[in-house]
Amino acid sequence: MKVRKLAVLVFGAALLLSSGAIAKEKTKATLTLSDPVTIEGKTLNPGKYTVEWSGSGTNVQVTILQGKTPVATIPAQLAQQGTANPHDEYGIATAGDGSKTLTAIYIGGSRTYLDLQQTEARQRSSTNSAK
């Protein structure tokens, strides 16, 4: 009887610890831009921004803040890559005219990244199919 209670207690403790680890998953990052970039038609000037996201599964809502002021809110895909990112970083696509579009935000210390490119591709596809 004591062994059974002990097993239940150990299982319960393990469950609580694992749910605590999940709850502490990083949902905030720092984005330091060195060049102006465009996202969802808005231009973000060089500087330091905070990126926050929320949602369930891989579909998330990303808010980019400058100080405490939201400057862009966009849908994105939360994805994983093979190795952890050493720092918070970002990906861009450069157009023929030299303008830069923000395509990804890589979370430092994690394999997680926010894929902004898939969202834009879906929007272009739905716009093109509506014509």
In eight-state DSSP terms, residue 85 is: B
Residue 122 is predicted with a pLDDT of 45
**pLDDT confidence band for 77 (50 / 70 / 90):** very high
For the ranges 6-20, 28-42, 61-75, which has the lowest average pLDDT? 6-20
Q: Is the pLDDT at 39 greater than 80, yes or no? A: yes
- Can you give the residue ranges of every domain in the chain? 26-130
Residue 25 is predicted with a pLDDT of 58
Secondary structure tally for the chain: helices H, strands E: 2, 9
Element (DSSP H or E) covering residue 51? strand 47-54
Q: How far apart are CA 81 and CA 105, in angstroms?
A: 12
Please state, rounded to an integer, the average pLDDT across all residues of the chain.
79
Q: How far apart are CA 92 and CA 15, in angstroms?
A: 40
- Pairing label, strands 28-33, 59-66: unpaired
